[in-house]
Structure 1
């Protein structure tokens, strides 16, 4: 599993800048929990293919599903206003 980019902190908070980061965070967390895509899909009531698409960051995947999967995996997503990062 060392080839998986580690974007998750110890508290499982992921800093998400785009769909690729979200997909990576979900895949990394699922693998840390030693869960297969098929098992996660059965827990969520969706197909394994849909979980695969979510983990690839494919456009068109339901945002609600992505948030539900994050919640099920224990990922905490937060919001930070970019205007808070003021540079002079």
Structure 2
């Protein structure tokens, strides 16, 4: 089963865009940080990719901040279109 859902759609002031996008990025960073800490507490040496994902999310956050500042300086809005593709897949056994 495959489902596409419109997640964010519209034009936003720089402040609104920052609120929406940075909240989402901060939540994802927090999610992966907690996941990484839980694996360390369980003495699990397997690399779950959380550290790499956190780095990429922080880079995305920095870029969003730059775009928001630029839009503010130029008196512009940000048009955001974001879709999420959701697929049902079998559980992994690992």
Measured against the shorter chain, the TM-score band is 0.3 to 0.5
TM-score (norm 2): 0.31
Is the helix fraction higher in 1 or 2?
2
Structure (1 or 2) with the larger CA radius of gyration = 2
TM-score, length basis structure 1: 0.32
Greater RCO, CA 8 A, separation 6+? 2
Q: Which has the higher strand share?
A: 2
